[in-house]
């Protein structure tokens, strides 16, 4: 157990729907990162939050949004879902904001299937 908790583990939904993925970071970690893993794109960075504030943005679609709450858990909202959004979504956390030596600790992932 890495200490990073993601729910749900699996999610099956239809095109056009909206889903929310949840992440609780490791105790003491202030930064949360979201990644998307698909067969054709590999591991893509979506977005980072640090202590409640958006810190960095990657290849996140406009249909996707995220936030980090005062208790430091984070949610990734995916809307108007398309077949191509089917992927494994990972959350990771780290203690500091941008230290080069930071190690990201990953959760087990949420597998989203869009039918």
Partner 1 sequence: AQSVAQPEDQVNVAEGNPLTVKCTYSVSGNPYLFWYVQYPNRGLQFLLKYITGDNLVKGSYGFEAEFNKSQTSFHLKKPSALVSDSALYFCAVRDWDFDGGSQGNLIFGKGTKLSVKP
* By the rule CB under 8 A, 56 interacts with partner 1: yes
Please enumerate in sequence order all residues whose Cβ is within 8 A of that of 37, keeping only pairs 6 or more positions apart, or say none: 43, 44, 87, 88, 89, 90, 109
**Cα–Cα distance measured from residue 47 to residue 92, given in angstroms and rounded to the nearest whole number:** 11
The DSSP bridge pattern shows strands 64-68 and 74-78 to be antiparallel
Q: How far is the CB of 108 from partner 1 (least distance, A)?
A: 5
Q: How far is the CB of 54 from partner 1 (least distance, A)?
A: 12
Q: Which stretch in 16-24, 45-53, 62-70, 75-83 sits in contact with partner 1 by CB under 8 A?
A: 45-53
| Interacting residues with partner 1 (CB under 8 A) | 2, 4, 31, 33, 35, 42-43, 45, 48, 50, 55-56, 58, 90, 92, 94, 96-109
């Amino acid at each position: 157990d890495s200490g990073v908790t993601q729910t749900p583990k699996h999610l099956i939904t239809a095109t056009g729907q909206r889903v929310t993925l949840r992440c609780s970071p490791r105790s003491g970690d202030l930064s949360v990162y979201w990644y998307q893993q698909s067969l054709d794109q590999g591991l893509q960075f979506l977005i980072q939050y640090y202590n409640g504030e958006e810190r960095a943005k990657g290849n996140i679609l406009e249909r996707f949004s995220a936030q980090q709450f005062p208790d430091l858990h984070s949610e990734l909202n995916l809307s108007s879902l398309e077949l191509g959004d089917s992927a494994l979504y990972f959350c990771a956390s780290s203690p500091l904001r941008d230290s080069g030596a930071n190690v990201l600790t990953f959760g087990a992932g949420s597998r989203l299937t869009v039918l």
